[in-house]
A and B are shown apart, each in its own frame.
Chain A
Amino acid sequence: MSEEKQPVNEQNASSTHFGYQTVDTAVKESKVAGVFHSVAQQYDVMNDLMSFGIHRLWKRFTIDASGVRPGNNVLDLAGGTGDLTAKFSKLVGREGRVVLADINSSMLNVGRDKLRDKGLVQNIDYVQANAEYLPFEDNTFDIITIAFGLRNVTHKDRALRSMYRVLKPGGRLLVLEFSKPEHEIINKAYDFYSFNLLPKMGELVAKDGDSYQYLAESIRMHPDQETLKQMMDDAGFEQTSYKNLTDGIVALHKGFKF
Protein backbone atom coordinates (compact mmCIF):
# COMPACT_ATOMS: atom_id res chain seq x y z
CA MET A 1 0.00 0.00 0.00
CA SER A 2 2.87 2.34 0.79
CA GLU A 3 4.15 1.76 -2.71
CA GLU A 4 0.86 2.99 -4.08
CA LYS A 5 1.07 6.20 -2.14
CA GLN A 6 4.60 6.84 -3.37
CA PRO A 7 4.30 6.60 -7.12
CA VAL A 8 7.90 7.64 -7.68
CA ASN A 9 9.11 4.50 -5.93
CA GLU A 10 6.52 2.37 -7.68
CA GLN A 11 8.20 2.94 -10.99
CA ASN A 12 11.50 1.47 -9.84
CA ALA A 13 10.17 -1.35 -7.71
CA SER A 14 10.63 -4.86 -9.09
CA SER A 15 7.60 -6.11 -7.15
CA THR A 16 4.10 -4.77 -6.92
CA HIS A 17 0.78 -5.82 -5.49
CA PHE A 18 -1.88 -8.00 -7.00
CA GLY A 19 -4.74 -7.47 -4.59
CA TYR A 20 -3.16 -8.20 -1.20
CA GLN A 21 -0.42 -10.38 -2.70
CA THR A 22 3.01 -9.06 -3.58
CA VAL A 23 4.08 -10.21 -7.00
CA ASP A 24 6.79 -9.47 -9.51
CA THR A 25 5.87 -6.50 -11.71
CA ALA A 26 6.19 -8.67 -14.80
CA VAL A 27 3.68 -11.13 -13.35
CA LYS A 28 0.97 -8.66 -12.37
CA GLU A 29 0.01 -7.89 -15.94
CA SER A 30 -0.62 -11.54 -16.79
CA LYS A 31 -2.47 -12.14 -13.54
CA VAL A 32 -4.78 -9.14 -14.16
CA ALA A 33 -5.24 -10.37 -17.73
CA GLY A 34 -6.29 -13.75 -16.33
CA VAL A 35 -8.91 -12.09 -14.12
CA PHE A 36 -10.47 -10.19 -17.01
CA HIS A 37 -10.31 -13.09 -19.48
CA SER A 38 -12.27 -15.01 -16.88
CA VAL A 39 -14.97 -12.41 -16.14
CA ALA A 40 -15.36 -10.76 -19.58
CA GLN A 41 -18.52 -12.59 -20.63
CA GLN A 42 -20.35 -11.85 -17.37
CA TYR A 43 -18.78 -8.42 -16.81
CA ASP A 44 -21.89 -6.31 -17.50
CA VAL A 45 -24.23 -8.56 -15.53
CA MET A 46 -21.85 -8.55 -12.58
CA ASN A 47 -21.44 -4.77 -12.75
CA ASP A 48 -25.21 -4.33 -12.49
CA LEU A 49 -25.46 -6.87 -9.69
CA MET A 50 -22.51 -5.62 -7.66
CA SER A 51 -23.40 -1.94 -7.84
CA PHE A 52 -27.19 -2.40 -7.93
CA GLY A 53 -27.09 -0.57 -11.27
CA ILE A 54 -25.52 2.55 -9.78
CA HIS A 55 -22.44 2.19 -12.03
CA ARG A 56 -24.65 3.49 -14.84
CA LEU A 57 -25.19 6.74 -12.92
CA TRP A 58 -21.47 7.07 -12.15
CA LYS A 59 -20.76 6.67 -15.86
CA ARG A 60 -23.45 9.17 -16.82
CA PHE A 61 -21.83 11.68 -14.47
CA THR A 62 -18.47 11.01 -16.13
CA ILE A 63 -19.99 11.79 -19.52
CA ASP A 64 -21.40 15.05 -18.13
CA ALA A 65 -18.05 16.00 -16.64
CA SER A 66 -16.30 15.36 -19.97
CA GLY A 67 -18.02 18.31 -21.67
CA VAL A 68 -17.83 16.29 -24.89
CA ARG A 69 -18.98 17.97 -28.08
CA PRO A 70 -19.49 16.94 -31.70
CA GLY A 71 -16.24 16.43 -33.57
CA ASN A 72 -14.18 15.53 -30.49
CA ASN A 73 -11.60 12.75 -30.41
CA VAL A 74 -12.15 10.61 -27.34
CA LEU A 75 -10.04 7.82 -25.89
CA ASP A 76 -11.97 5.43 -23.65
CA LEU A 77 -9.08 3.69 -21.98
CA ALA A 78 -9.60 0.34 -20.27
CA GLY A 79 -12.99 0.77 -21.89
CA GLY A 80 -13.94 -2.85 -21.35
CA THR A 81 -17.41 -3.56 -22.59
CA GLY A 82 -17.85 -0.08 -24.01
CA ASP A 83 -20.46 1.62 -21.80
CA LEU A 84 -18.75 5.02 -22.05
CA THR A 85 -17.79 4.49 -25.69
CA ALA A 86 -21.44 3.92 -26.64
CA LYS A 87 -22.48 7.27 -25.20
CA PHE A 88 -19.44 9.14 -26.49
CA SER A 89 -19.97 7.72 -29.97
CA LYS A 90 -23.42 9.29 -30.13
CA LEU A 91 -22.30 12.61 -28.67
CA VAL A 92 -19.24 13.19 -30.89
CA GLY A 93 -21.26 12.45 -34.02
CA ARG A 94 -19.94 11.42 -37.41
CA GLU A 95 -17.22 14.04 -37.42
CA GLY A 96 -15.82 12.82 -34.13
CA ARG A 97 -14.00 9.62 -33.24
CA VAL A 98 -13.94 7.37 -30.21
CA VAL A 99 -11.16 4.89 -29.55
CA LEU A 100 -12.06 2.02 -27.27
CA ALA A 101 -8.78 0.75 -25.90
CA ASP A 102 -8.20 -2.13 -23.53
CA ILE A 103 -5.21 -4.27 -22.76
CA ASN A 104 -7.41 -7.33 -22.53
CA SER A 105 -8.51 -8.94 -25.80
CA SER A 106 -11.47 -10.74 -24.22
CA MET A 107 -12.90 -7.51 -22.85
CA LEU A 108 -12.29 -5.77 -26.14
CA ASN A 109 -14.07 -8.54 -28.05
CA VAL A 110 -17.09 -8.40 -25.74
CA GLY A 111 -17.17 -4.60 -26.05
CA ARG A 112 -16.88 -4.67 -29.83
CA ASP A 113 -19.66 -7.26 -30.19
CA LYS A 114 -21.91 -5.29 -27.86
CA LEU A 115 -21.41 -1.98 -29.66
CA ARG A 116 -21.86 -3.55 -33.09
CA ASP A 117 -25.10 -5.14 -31.90
CA LYS A 118 -26.24 -1.65 -30.95
CA GLY A 119 -25.44 -0.44 -34.46
CA LEU A 120 -22.55 1.72 -33.30
CA VAL A 121 -19.97 1.18 -36.02
CA GLN A 122 -19.29 4.44 -37.79
CA ASN A 123 -16.96 6.35 -35.52
CA ILE A 124 -15.44 3.77 -33.18
CA ASP A 125 -11.97 2.25 -33.41
CA TYR A 126 -10.80 -0.65 -31.28
CA VAL A 127 -7.25 -0.78 -30.05
CA GLN A 128 -5.61 -3.34 -27.79
CA ALA A 129 -3.21 -1.19 -25.86
CA ASN A 130 -1.28 -0.98 -22.63
CA ALA A 131 -2.15 2.24 -20.79
CA GLU A 132 1.51 2.67 -19.87
CA TYR A 133 2.61 2.82 -23.51
CA LEU A 134 -0.24 4.29 -25.49
CA PRO A 135 0.27 3.71 -29.22
CA PHE A 136 -0.91 7.15 -30.32
CA GLU A 137 0.80 10.32 -31.45
CA ASP A 138 1.30 13.20 -29.04
CA ASN A 139 -1.67 15.60 -28.63
CA THR A 140 -4.25 13.32 -30.27
CA PHE A 141 -7.29 13.32 -27.99
CA ASP A 142 -9.64 15.99 -26.65
CA ILE A 143 -10.86 13.74 -23.86
CA ILE A 144 -9.44 10.63 -22.20
CA THR A 145 -11.50 8.56 -19.78
CA ILE A 146 -10.41 5.56 -17.78
CA ALA A 147 -13.25 4.02 -15.80
CA PHE A 148 -12.49 1.32 -13.25
CA GLY A 149 -9.24 0.54 -15.01
CA LEU A 150 -6.43 2.52 -13.42
CA ARG A 151 -6.22 0.36 -10.30
CA ASN A 152 -5.31 -2.65 -12.48
CA VAL A 153 -2.41 -0.86 -14.14
CA THR A 154 1.00 -1.91 -12.82
CA HIS A 155 2.71 1.49 -13.08
CA LYS A 156 0.01 4.08 -12.62
CA ASP A 157 2.37 7.04 -12.79
CA ARG A 158 3.71 5.81 -16.12
CA ALA A 159 0.17 5.38 -17.42
CA LEU A 160 -0.81 8.89 -16.32
CA ARG A 161 2.22 10.36 -18.09
CA SER A 162 1.34 8.41 -21.21
CA MET A 163 -2.21 9.76 -21.08
CA TYR A 164 -0.85 13.27 -20.63
CA ARG A 165 1.32 12.84 -23.71
CA VAL A 166 -1.52 11.82 -26.03
CA LEU A 167 -3.95 14.42 -24.70
CA LYS A 168 -4.31 17.64 -26.72
CA PRO A 169 -3.55 20.95 -25.00
CA GLY A 170 -6.91 22.05 -23.55
CA GLY A 171 -7.98 18.43 -23.26
CA ARG A 172 -9.10 16.70 -20.11
CA LEU A 173 -8.54 13.40 -18.39
CA LEU A 174 -11.29 11.78 -16.34
CA VAL A 175 -10.47 8.94 -13.98
CA LEU A 176 -13.49 7.11 -12.59
CA GLU A 177 -12.33 4.69 -9.97
CA PHE A 178 -13.20 3.10 -6.66
CA SER A 179 -11.90 5.15 -3.78
CA LYS A 180 -12.13 5.62 -0.04
CA PRO A 181 -15.58 6.18 1.53
CA GLU A 182 -15.89 9.46 3.41
CA HIS A 183 -17.59 8.03 6.49
CA GLU A 184 -16.28 5.23 8.67
CA ILE A 185 -19.64 3.51 9.00
CA ILE A 186 -19.99 3.33 5.21
CA ASN A 187 -16.41 2.08 5.03
CA LYS A 188 -17.18 -0.77 7.41
CA ALA A 189 -20.41 -1.74 5.63
CA TYR A 190 -18.59 -1.54 2.31
CA ASP A 191 -15.77 -3.76 3.62
CA PHE A 192 -18.27 -6.35 4.81
CA TYR A 193 -20.05 -6.29 1.46
CA SER A 194 -16.81 -6.45 -0.57
CA PHE A 195 -15.12 -9.29 1.29
CA ASN A 196 -18.13 -11.40 2.25
CA LEU A 197 -20.81 -10.97 -0.38
CA LEU A 198 -18.95 -9.92 -3.52
CA PRO A 199 -16.81 -13.08 -3.92
CA LYS A 200 -19.91 -15.22 -3.33
CA MET A 201 -21.84 -13.30 -5.99
CA GLY A 202 -18.87 -13.76 -8.33
CA GLU A 203 -18.82 -17.48 -7.61
CA LEU A 204 -22.55 -17.78 -8.20
CA VAL A 205 -22.89 -15.69 -11.37
CA ALA A 206 -19.47 -15.63 -13.05
CA LYS A 207 -18.34 -18.97 -11.52
CA ASP A 208 -15.19 -17.18 -10.38
CA GLY A 209 -15.07 -16.07 -6.76
CA ASP A 210 -11.28 -15.49 -6.82
CA SER A 211 -11.51 -12.75 -9.43
CA TYR A 212 -14.03 -10.87 -7.31
CA GLN A 213 -11.89 -11.40 -4.23
CA TYR A 214 -9.11 -9.71 -6.25
CA LEU A 215 -11.52 -6.91 -7.17
CA ALA A 216 -12.23 -6.20 -3.48
CA GLU A 217 -8.54 -6.32 -2.57
CA SER A 218 -7.43 -4.19 -5.51
CA ILE A 219 -9.94 -1.50 -4.52
CA ARG A 220 -8.42 -1.32 -1.03
CA MET A 221 -4.90 -1.12 -2.48
CA HIS A 222 -5.79 1.69 -4.88
CA PRO A 223 -4.63 5.21 -3.92
CA ASP A 224 -7.20 7.31 -2.07
CA GLN A 225 -8.66 10.53 -3.49
CA GLU A 226 -5.88 12.92 -2.44
CA THR A 227 -3.07 10.55 -3.40
CA LEU A 228 -4.45 10.02 -6.88
CA LYS A 229 -4.93 13.76 -7.30
CA GLN A 230 -1.27 14.26 -6.36
CA MET A 231 -0.25 11.56 -8.85
CA MET A 232 -2.14 13.42 -11.58
CA ASP A 233 -0.40 16.66 -10.59
CA ASP A 234 2.95 14.88 -10.72
CA ALA A 235 2.17 13.59 -14.21
CA GLY A 236 1.71 17.19 -15.38
CA PHE A 237 -2.06 17.63 -15.24
CA GLU A 238 -3.35 21.02 -14.15
CA GLN A 239 -6.49 22.18 -12.33
CA THR A 240 -6.87 18.67 -10.96
CA SER A 241 -9.91 18.02 -8.82
CA TYR A 242 -12.10 15.16 -7.77
CA LYS A 243 -15.74 14.56 -6.92
CA ASN A 244 -16.81 11.85 -4.52
CA LEU A 245 -19.77 9.77 -5.66
CA THR A 246 -21.88 7.58 -3.38
CA ASP A 247 -20.04 8.80 -0.30
CA GLY A 248 -16.61 8.30 -1.88
CA ILE A 249 -17.04 4.63 -2.76
CA VAL A 250 -16.23 5.94 -6.20
CA ALA A 251 -14.46 9.18 -7.10
CA LEU A 252 -14.21 11.00 -10.40
CA HIS A 253 -10.86 12.74 -10.82
CA LYS A 254 -10.47 15.40 -13.46
CA GLY A 255 -7.33 17.07 -14.79
CA PHE A 256 -6.46 19.28 -17.74
CA LYS A 257 -3.47 19.61 -20.02
CA PHE A 258 -2.69 23.19 -21.01
Chain B
Amino acid sequence: MSTIMHHQMLCGFIEKVVNALLSMNLSSSASLVALEQKTLVVSLAELNFPLSLTVSDKQLLVTCITERSDCQIDTSLATLKTLKEEQQLTELIKQDKLNIVGDVKVAQQFADVFQQLDIDWQSEIASYIGDVPTYKLGRFHQWLLAKVTFAKQQVSADASEWLLHEKRVLVSNGELQQLYGQIQQAQQAIQQIEQRISQLDDAINASHQESLS
Protein backbone atom coordinates (compact mmCIF):
# COMPACT_ATOMS: atom_id res chain seq x y z
CA MET B 1 0.00 0.00 0.00
CA SER B 2 1.31 3.44 -0.91
CA THR B 3 2.42 6.12 1.52
CA ILE B 4 -0.69 8.16 0.72
CA MET B 5 -2.91 5.31 1.84
CA HIS B 6 -0.88 4.87 5.04
CA HIS B 7 -1.31 8.56 5.83
CA GLN B 8 -5.03 8.37 5.21
CA MET B 9 -5.30 5.24 7.33
CA LEU B 10 -3.48 6.91 10.22
CA CYS B 11 -5.64 10.05 9.95
CA GLY B 12 -8.77 7.91 9.93
CA PHE B 13 -7.59 5.91 12.93
CA ILE B 14 -6.72 9.02 14.97
CA GLU B 15 -10.07 10.58 14.07
CA LYS B 16 -11.98 7.47 15.17
CA VAL B 17 -10.09 7.12 18.48
CA VAL B 18 -10.28 10.79 19.42
CA ASN B 19 -13.98 11.07 18.61
CA ALA B 20 -14.68 7.89 20.57
CA LEU B 21 -12.88 9.44 23.56
CA LEU B 22 -14.73 12.75 23.13
CA SER B 23 -18.07 10.93 23.04
CA MET B 24 -17.26 9.29 26.41
CA ASN B 25 -16.20 12.56 28.02
CA LEU B 26 -18.21 13.41 31.13
CA SER B 27 -16.87 16.91 31.68
CA SER B 28 -18.21 20.03 30.00
CA SER B 29 -17.62 20.35 26.28
CA ALA B 30 -17.32 24.14 26.54
CA SER B 31 -13.71 24.10 25.38
CA LEU B 32 -14.76 22.14 22.30
CA VAL B 33 -17.57 24.57 21.54
CA ALA B 34 -15.10 27.46 21.70
CA LEU B 35 -13.05 25.73 19.01
CA GLU B 36 -15.91 25.32 16.53
CA GLN B 37 -14.51 25.51 12.97
CA LYS B 38 -11.01 26.25 14.31
CA THR B 39 -8.14 24.39 12.72
CA LEU B 40 -4.81 23.42 14.23
CA VAL B 41 -2.12 22.03 11.96
CA VAL B 42 0.54 19.97 13.73
CA SER B 43 3.74 18.96 11.97
CA LEU B 44 5.54 16.45 14.16
CA ALA B 45 9.19 15.57 13.65
CA GLU B 46 8.24 11.92 14.06
CA LEU B 47 5.71 12.06 11.18
CA ASN B 48 6.59 13.00 7.62
CA PHE B 49 3.22 14.60 6.96
CA PRO B 50 1.15 17.25 8.79
CA LEU B 51 -2.02 16.53 10.74
CA SER B 52 -4.81 19.05 10.45
CA LEU B 53 -7.32 19.03 13.32
CA THR B 54 -10.62 20.82 12.78
CA VAL B 55 -13.50 20.95 15.24
CA SER B 56 -16.98 20.66 13.79
CA ASP B 57 -20.14 20.04 15.83
CA LYS B 58 -18.14 18.88 18.86
CA GLN B 59 -16.29 16.36 16.72
CA LEU B 60 -12.71 16.36 15.54
CA LEU B 61 -11.90 16.00 11.86
CA VAL B 62 -8.39 14.81 11.09
CA THR B 63 -7.11 15.54 7.59
CA CYS B 64 -3.87 16.49 5.85
CA ILE B 65 -5.23 19.80 4.55
CA THR B 66 -2.68 22.50 5.33
CA GLU B 67 -3.93 25.27 3.09
CA ARG B 68 -5.75 27.02 5.93
CA SER B 69 -5.24 26.98 9.70
CA ASP B 70 -5.76 29.17 12.75
CA CYS B 71 -2.52 27.92 14.24
CA GLN B 72 0.34 25.86 12.91
CA ILE B 73 2.86 24.08 15.13
CA ASP B 74 6.12 22.44 14.10
CA THR B 75 7.48 20.36 16.95
CA SER B 76 8.12 16.86 18.28
CA LEU B 77 5.96 14.55 20.39
CA ALA B 78 8.08 15.17 23.50
CA THR B 79 7.77 18.95 23.19
CA LEU B 80 4.04 18.72 22.49
CA LYS B 81 3.50 17.45 26.03
CA THR B 82 5.04 20.59 27.51
CA LEU B 83 2.81 22.98 25.52
CA LYS B 84 0.38 23.32 28.43
CA GLU B 85 3.00 25.23 30.41
CA GLU B 86 2.70 28.68 28.89
CA GLN B 87 5.86 30.00 30.56
CA GLN B 88 7.96 27.41 28.71
CA LEU B 89 6.87 28.45 25.23
CA THR B 90 9.44 31.21 24.78
CA GLU B 91 12.24 28.94 25.95
CA LEU B 92 11.16 26.15 23.57
CA ILE B 93 10.99 28.57 20.65
CA LYS B 94 14.47 29.89 21.53
CA GLN B 95 15.78 26.32 21.57
CA ASP B 96 14.26 25.71 18.11
CA LYS B 97 12.16 22.94 19.57
CA LEU B 98 8.94 24.71 18.70
CA ASN B 99 7.76 26.85 15.82
CA ILE B 100 4.32 28.45 16.08
CA VAL B 101 2.54 30.39 13.34
CA GLY B 102 -0.85 31.92 14.15
CA ASP B 103 -2.90 32.12 17.31
CA VAL B 104 -1.16 30.17 20.08
CA LYS B 105 -4.37 30.28 22.14
CA VAL B 106 -5.98 27.92 19.65
CA ALA B 107 -3.21 25.38 20.26
CA GLN B 108 -3.65 25.72 24.02
CA GLN B 109 -7.42 25.33 23.71
CA PHE B 110 -6.87 22.10 21.78
CA ALA B 111 -4.51 20.93 24.54
CA ASP B 112 -7.19 21.84 27.13
CA VAL B 113 -9.74 19.65 25.38
CA PHE B 114 -7.56 16.60 25.89
CA GLN B 115 -6.50 17.51 29.43
CA GLN B 116 -10.10 17.99 30.50
CA LEU B 117 -11.15 14.54 29.30
CA ASP B 118 -13.00 12.82 32.13
CA ILE B 119 -13.99 9.29 31.22
CA ASP B 120 -15.74 6.78 33.47
CA TRP B 121 -13.86 3.77 32.16
CA GLN B 122 -15.65 1.30 34.44
CA SER B 123 -19.03 2.34 33.12
CA GLU B 124 -17.78 2.19 29.53
CA ILE B 125 -16.24 -1.26 29.95
CA ALA B 126 -19.31 -2.54 31.82
CA SER B 127 -21.48 -1.79 28.80
CA TYR B 128 -19.43 -4.36 26.87
CA ILE B 129 -18.57 -7.09 29.40
CA GLY B 130 -21.12 -6.61 32.20
CA ASP B 131 -20.97 -5.26 35.77
CA VAL B 132 -19.43 -8.23 37.63
CA PRO B 133 -16.50 -8.81 35.23
CA THR B 134 -15.90 -5.05 35.22
CA TYR B 135 -15.83 -5.00 39.03
CA LYS B 136 -13.35 -7.89 39.07
CA LEU B 137 -11.29 -6.23 36.38
CA GLY B 138 -11.31 -3.04 38.47
CA ARG B 139 -10.11 -4.94 41.56
CA PHE B 140 -7.38 -6.62 39.51
CA HIS B 141 -6.35 -3.24 38.13
CA GLN B 142 -6.13 -1.78 41.66
CA TRP B 143 -4.10 -4.80 42.85
CA LEU B 144 -1.76 -4.49 39.86
CA LEU B 145 -1.45 -0.76 40.39
CA ALA B 146 -0.54 -1.30 44.07
CA LYS B 147 2.10 -3.88 43.10
CA VAL B 148 3.59 -1.62 40.46
CA THR B 149 3.58 1.33 42.87
CA PHE B 150 5.30 -0.78 45.53
CA ALA B 151 7.86 -2.04 43.02
CA LYS B 152 8.52 1.52 41.89
CA GLN B 153 8.97 2.66 45.49
CA GLN B 154 11.28 -0.29 46.17
CA VAL B 155 13.41 0.43 43.13
CA SER B 156 13.51 4.10 44.07
CA ALA B 157 14.54 3.27 47.67
CA ASP B 158 17.23 0.82 46.49
CA ALA B 159 18.57 3.43 44.10
CA SER B 160 18.72 6.03 46.87
CA GLU B 161 20.49 3.55 49.15
CA TRP B 162 23.00 2.79 46.47
CA LEU B 163 23.62 6.46 45.74
CA LEU B 164 24.01 7.34 49.41
CA HIS B 165 26.21 4.48 50.61
CA GLU B 166 27.48 2.13 47.93
CA LYS B 167 28.56 4.79 45.48
CA ARG B 168 30.97 6.25 48.06
CA VAL B 169 33.10 3.10 48.28
CA LEU B 170 33.30 2.69 44.55
CA VAL B 171 36.50 3.77 42.81
CA SER B 172 35.94 6.84 40.69
CA ASN B 173 37.35 7.22 37.21
CA GLY B 174 39.88 9.81 38.38
CA GLU B 175 41.10 7.51 41.13
CA LEU B 176 41.43 4.68 38.66
CA GLN B 177 43.48 6.85 36.29
CA GLN B 178 45.73 7.91 39.19
CA LEU B 179 46.27 4.24 40.10
CA TYR B 180 47.18 3.42 36.47
CA GLY B 181 49.69 6.29 36.58
CA GLN B 182 51.25 5.01 39.79
CA ILE B 183 51.50 1.46 38.40
CA GLN B 184 53.24 2.81 35.28
CA GLN B 185 55.69 4.74 37.44
CA ALA B 186 56.38 1.62 39.54
CA GLN B 187 56.93 -0.42 36.34
CA GLN B 188 59.43 2.17 35.08
CA ALA B 189 61.25 2.14 38.46
CA ILE B 190 61.44 -1.67 38.40
CA GLN B 191 62.84 -1.58 34.86
CA GLN B 192 65.49 0.92 35.97
CA ILE B 193 66.44 -1.27 38.96
CA GLU B 194 66.60 -4.33 36.69
CA GLN B 195 68.94 -2.47 34.33
CA ARG B 196 71.06 -1.32 37.29
CA ILE B 197 71.29 -4.89 38.70
CA SER B 198 72.18 -6.20 35.27
CA GLN B 199 74.93 -3.57 34.91
CA LEU B 200 76.28 -4.37 38.40
CA ASP B 201 76.14 -8.10 37.65
CA ASP B 202 78.13 -7.56 34.45
CA ALA B 203 80.72 -5.44 36.35
CA ILE B 204 81.13 -8.11 39.09
CA ASN B 205 81.57 -10.86 36.52
CA ALA B 206 84.17 -8.82 34.63
CA SER B 207 86.25 -8.04 37.78
CA HIS B 208 86.02 -11.69 38.85
CA GLN B 209 87.39 -12.88 35.51
CA GLU B 210 90.21 -10.29 35.66
CA SER B 211 91.27 -11.49 39.15
CA LEU B 212 91.31 -15.14 37.95
CA SER B 213 93.50 -14.32 34.98
Contacts and interface: CB of A to CB of B under 8 A. Distances in A.
Does A pair with B? yes
Interface of A: 54, 56-57, 60-61, 63-64, 66-70, 87, 90-91, 93-94, 119, 243, 245-247
Contact of B65 (A54, A68, A94): A68
B206 interface: no
B68 interface: yes
B2 interface: yes
Interface residues of B, number: 20
A63 B65 contact: yes
Contact of B68 (A57, A69, A90): A69
Contacts of A93: 36-37, 56
B57 interface: yes
Contacts of B37: 70, 93-94
Given A64-B63, A67-B65, A93-B37, A54 B54 contact: no
10 contacts: A60-B8, A61-B5, A63-B65, A64-B65, A69-B68, A70-B68, A91-B54, A94-B37, A243-B4, A247-B2
B163 interface: no
Nearest to A122: B57
Contact of B2 (A69, A90, A94, A246): A246
Contacts of B12: 56-57, 60
Interface of A is mostly: helix
A69 B67 contact: yes
Interface in B23-48: 36-37
Which are the 10 A-B pairs with shortest beta-carbon distances? A90-B56, A57-B8, A67-B67, A69-B68, A60-B8, A93-B37, A64-B64, A70-B37, A57-B5, A64-B63
B148 interface: no
Contacts of A245: 2, 4-5
Contacts of A64: 8, 63-65
B9 interface: yes
A102 B170 CA distance: 81
Contacts of B67: 67, 69
